[in-house]
Amino acid sequence: MIEDIKVLKNPKTQLYLNVKRMILSEHFSWFWQKTTIVEDEKIDEKKYHNISCYSHTFLMRPEENKKYSSPSSNYLDEVSEVFKEILDHNNIRINTFIRMNANCTHQYSKVLNCIPHTDHEFPHNNIIMYLSDSGGSTIVNSHEYSPSEDDVILFGGERHYYQTPRHGRRVVLVATFL
């Protein structure tokens, strides 16, 4: 697993730009998520919030469907190829993707912290691509990454959380992999 937050180079290929344009368009389908995560423990409600967001799942996590990932979007091939291009460009080896999602979070009257969480209960890696330039840091092991548009980060499956954007909407592509 990757230790801490690693910033990757984004080659911004034509496929990446096409996928980004598609996801940011007004024609892309988003699905309302009342909460970001299922709460499994007591949290400090003054510090963390179970934030609502819009989501589009490309590859469904194995915990949701009997221990194997399954496709859930017609765009899975293009999105997985974008992740592979970036990982290959940075000489990161991948065995298999576990989950892929696009998330869209809107700004609130103040910046809020999402609930700290891990994406899976087994060792894995996380990669996040920031498609918008709206703020919305990612915090891993108390290390904060303040993103810019087109940034890509990689980290191990540690507990992490994000902050809501300072303005506009925070749109990210997220994948977990082995």
Give the start-end residues of each E strand in 2-131. Answer: 6-8, 31-33, 53-60, 70-71, 97-106, 125-130
Selected residue with higher pLDDT from 52 and 90 = 90
For residue 29, being part of any structural domain is answered with: no
Residue 43 inside a domain? The answer is: no
Q: Which residue has the higher pLDDT, 149 or 116?
A: 149
Residue 90, in any domain of the structure: yes
pLDDT at 12 over 90: yes
Query: Does 61 reside within a domain?
Result: yes
Q: Taking the model in full, what pTM does it have?
A: 0.92
Domain residues for the domain of 97 are 6-24+48-177
Confidence grade of residue 158 (pLDDT, cut at 50, 70, 90) = confident
Average pLDDT for 144-159: 95
Residue 36 lies in a domain: no
Residue type at 152? Answer: V
Strands of the 143-145 sheet, one edge to the other: 143-145, 138-140, 160-162
The three-state secondary structure class of 80 is helix
In a domain, 58, yes or no: yes
CATH number, residue 146: 2.60.120.620
- Indicate whether 87 belongs to any domain: yes
Please tell me which residue, 125 or 4, carries the higher pLDDT value.
Answer: 125
List pLDDT tens digits, range 117-149.
888 888 999 999 999 999 999 999 889 999 999
d(CA 88, CA 34): 35
Q: At residue 107, what are phi and psi to the nearest 5 degrees? A: -70, 155
- The string of pLDDT tens digits covering residues 24-83 is 999 999 999 887 776 656 777 788 888 889 999 999 989 766 788 999 999 999 999 999
- Domain count of the fold of the chain: 1
Length of the chain measured in residues: 178
| Residue 18 clears pLDDT 90, i.e. is over it | yes
Domain-embedded: residue 163: yes
Give the amino acid at 35.
T
